[in-house]
């Protein structure tokens, strides 16, 4: 199939791109579109046939649930069976934005979307193009990150084309995304909030909203893709299935090794351009490594991380050394992505 490249910008051409993208989606086709986190691969969430197309194009196992993107809180309430009070507080505080709420699913949501689970992930994205698209389609859109299974998530239309060109109907190009890593995914169970995937919304920010009576639990995802340990201060929790969080994920097509800050210099001193380095420090004078220095601010780092991984892949480096970012909760989303990038299947 030929993938249409629809460039959005000011003026009538941008308008035509948006209209075409909405028309394709309404007809059950697959269209990649920008969100504030990464590009998503969209299809009608309530159309099982369209949703199956997403899994096919990505080569994604049917056991990985998809996030449903909505244009309003009202639309979110239509795809879930219950909307507890804490969902209201979280939506009020973080929507539109990079937070996905996992709640009991409404019957209208096909089993394909939720991978047969009784729950569904829902999110109101902050990107104006994503919002406008959902509004024009007039229905919620299921959208995983717009990359083939286990490839690095896309933050530009060109990244999408790298693995999905010829496999999807269109790419709506709205320029680079801002946040750069995927949304924080939380499950709401009995009024408690459990982080299934760290992301742009930090645990501290969640705790501030959920407050004393609610609790924010951190799930730790092991190789099996199940939450094996969870809880504050070692509190034991039962294992909780969390499909799609396989350890190897977000992985560039090159061997990745995490290196501690004090070892970066030594590890790269006599390196050639076959060695890629993503670091928080500048390239030592004598090193020939292909070097990308990222900002020491977690938000700005996240926003540039995937573009750096794509660039290293494109340059064909044989090994990629990534400096371990500093400790602290603000880096948790980034650390999670780096751990996965460094995990071989
Ligand atoms: O920022 C994002 O979240 C991007 C943009 C496009 O919105 N989307 C994204 O989708 O990252 P995806 O499919 O690559 O990752 C969604 C993850 C799944 O891997 C799964 O772990 C979790 O969200 N998820 C979705 N529905 C779930 C459910 N019902 N129960 C547990 N986890 C769920
Ligand atoms: Mg993904």
Contact status, residue 30 vs residue 54, Cβ threshold 8 Å: yes
Q: Is the dihedral of CA 118, 121, 124, 127 positive or negative?
A: negative
Tell me how far the alpha carbon of residue 85 lies from the centroid of ligand 1, in angstroms.
22
pTM: 0.92
Q: Which protein residues have their CB within 5 A of the ion that is ligand 2?
A: 145
Atom of ligand 1 nearest to the CA of 37: 1
* Strands (DSSP E) found in the chain: 4-7, 31-34, 39-44, 67-69, 99-104, 119-123, 141-142, 170-173, 184-189, 192-197, 216-221, 226-230, 240-241, 255-259, 275-279, 290-293, 319-323
State if residue 100 touches ligand 1 by the CB under 6 angstroms criterion.
yes
CB-based burial label for 302 (10 Å; 0-12, 13-18, 19+): buried
Q: Which of 65, 124, 142 to mutate to test ligand 1, by most ligand atoms within 8 A of the CB atom?
A: 65
Which SS3 state, helix, strand or coil, does residue 85 take? helix
Q: Which of 63, 82, 100, 239 to mutate to test ligand 1, by most ligand atoms within 8 A of the CB atom?
A: 100
Residue 55 DSSP class: H
State if residue 150 touches ligand 1 by the CB under 6 angstroms criterion.
no
Ligand nearest to the CA of residue 151, numbered in listed order: 2
SS3 assignment for 113-133: HHCCCCEEEEECCCCHHHHHH
Taking the C-alpha atoms of residue 223 and residue 196, their distance in angstroms, rounded to an integer, is 14
Residue whose C-alpha is closest to residue 51's, from 42, 64, 39: 42
Interhelix angle for 298-315 vs 332-341, to 10°?
Answer: 20
In sequence order, the 6+-apart residues with CB closer than 8 A to the CB of 128 are none
Contact status, residue 201 vs residue 94, Cβ threshold 8 Å: yes
**Nearest Cα residue to atom 32 of ligand 1:** 242
Taking the C-alpha atoms of residue 33 and residue 307, their distance in angstroms, rounded to an integer, is 17
Atom of ligand 1 nearest to the CA of 117: 29
CA angle, 221 as apex, 330 and 275 as ends, to 5°?
Answer: 65
Regions of the chain where pLDDT drops below 50: 220-241, 243
Residue whose C-alpha is closest to residue 146's, from 158, 136, 134, 135: 158
**Nearest Cα residue to atom 13 of ligand 1:** 144
State if residue 185 touches ligand 1 by the CB under 6 angstroms criterion.
yes
Token representation of residue 160? 């999408």
Tell me how far the alpha carbon of residue 217 lies from the centroid of ligand 2, in angstroms.
22
What's residue 177's pLDDT?
98
Give the DSSP letter string of 191-232: TEEEEEE--SS-HHHHHHHHTTTS-EEEEEE-TTSEEEEE-G
Residue with tokens 């990745």: 256
State if residue 182 touches ligand 1 by the CB under 6 angstroms criterion.
yes
Tell me how far the alpha carbon of residue 282 lies from the centroid of ligand 1, in angstroms.
34
Atom of ligand 1 nearest to the CA of 196: 32
Tell me how far the alpha carbon of residue 328 lies from the centroid of ligand 1, in angstroms.
24
């Amino acid at each position: 199939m030929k993938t249409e490249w629809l460039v959005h910008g000011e003026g009538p051409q941008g308008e035509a791109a948006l209209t075409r993208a909405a028309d394709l989606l309404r007809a059950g086709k697959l269209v990649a579109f920008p969100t504030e986190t990464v590009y998503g691969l969209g299809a009608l969430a309530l159309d099982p046939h369209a949703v199956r197309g997403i899994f096919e194009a990505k080569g994604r196992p049917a056991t990985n649930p998809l996030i449903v993107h909505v244009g309003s809180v009202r639309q979110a309430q239509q795809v879930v069976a219950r909307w507890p009070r804490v969902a209201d507080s979280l939506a009020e505080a973080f929507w539109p934005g990079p937070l996905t709420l996992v709640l009991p699913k409404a019957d209208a949501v096909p089993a394909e979307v939720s991978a047969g689970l009784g729950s569904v992930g829902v999110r109101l994205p902050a990107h104006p193009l994503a919002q406008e698209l959902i509004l024009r389609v007039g229905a919620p859109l299921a959208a995983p990150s717009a990359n083939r299974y286990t490839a690095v998530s896309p933050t530009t239309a060109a990244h999408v084309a790298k693995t999905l060109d010829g496999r999807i109907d269109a790419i709506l190009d709205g320029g680079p995304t801002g946040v750069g890593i995927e949304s924080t995914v939380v499950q709401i169970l009995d009024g408690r909030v459990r982080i299934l995937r760290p992301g742009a919304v930090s645990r501290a920010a969640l705790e501030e909203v959920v407050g004393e009576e609610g609790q924010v639990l951190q799930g730790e995802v092991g190789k099996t893709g199940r939450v094996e340990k969870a809880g504050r201060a070692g509190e034991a929790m039962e294992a909780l299935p969390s499909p799609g969080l396989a350890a190897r994920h977000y992985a560039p097509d090159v061997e990745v090794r995490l290196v501690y800050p004090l070892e970066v210099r030594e590890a790269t001193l006599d390196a050639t351009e076959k060695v890629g380095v993503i670091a928080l420090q500048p390239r030592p004078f004598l090193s020939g490594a292909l070097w990308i220095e990222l900002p020491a601010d977690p938000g700005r780092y996240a926003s540039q991380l995937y573009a750096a991984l794509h660039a290293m892949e494109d340059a064909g480096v044989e090994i990629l050394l990534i400096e371990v970012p500093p400790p602290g909760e603000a880096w948790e989303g980034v650390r999670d992505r780096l751990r996965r990038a460094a995990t071989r299947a």
